[in-house]
Amino acid sequence: MAVTGERNGVELTVVIPAFNERLNVEPMVQALDTVLSGVRWEVIFVDDDSPDGTAEAVRHIAQQDSRVRCLHRIDRRGLSSACIEGMMASSAPCLAVMDADFQHDEKLLPQMLQQLQQKEDLDLVIGSRYIDGGSTGALPESRVGISRFATWLARLVLGVSISDPMSGFFMLKRTLLMQVIGRLSQQGFKILLDLLTSGVEVRYLELPYVMRSRERGESKLDILVSGEFLLLLLDKRLGYLLPPKFLMFVAVGLIGASLHLLLLGLLYLHGNVAFWLAQSGATLLAMTSNFLLNNQFTYRDRRLRGKQLLYGLLMFYLLCSLGALINIRIASSLYDLALPWWLSGLLGAGVGTVWNYAMTLTFTWRKKRLAV
For 13-53, give the secondary structure using H, E and C: EEEEEECCCHHHHHHHHHHHHHHCCCCCEEEEEEECCCCCC
User: 365: pLDDT confidence band, cut at 50, 70 and 90?
Assistant: confident
Which among 5, 168, 193, 175 is positioned nearest to 102, based on CA atoms?
168
SS3 call for 106 = helix
Whether this model's pTM surpasses 0.85: no
Q: How confident is the model at residue 42 (pLDDT cuts 50, 70, 90)?
A: very high
Task: Work out the mean pLDDT of the chain and round it to a whole number.
Answer: 81
C-beta atoms surrounding 4 within 10 Å: 5
SS3 119: coil
At 67, give phi and psi (nearest 5°): -80, -10
**What is the three-class DSSP state of 297?**
helix
Instruction: Determine the average pLDDT of the residues in 242-268.
Output: 79
Q: What is the layout of strands, in order, in the sheet containing 12-18?
A: 68-72, 41-47, 12-18, 94-97, 170-173, 124-128, 204-208
Cα–Cα distance between 67 and 216 in angstroms, integer?
A: 24
> How many residues comprise the chain?
372
List, for residues 150-204, the tens digit of each pLDDT value: 666 666 655 667 788 778 899 999 999 999 998 887 655 567 877 887 778 889 9
DSSP type of residue 339:
-
The two beta strands, 94-97 and 12-18, are parallel
The CA distance from 78 to 271, in Å, is 45
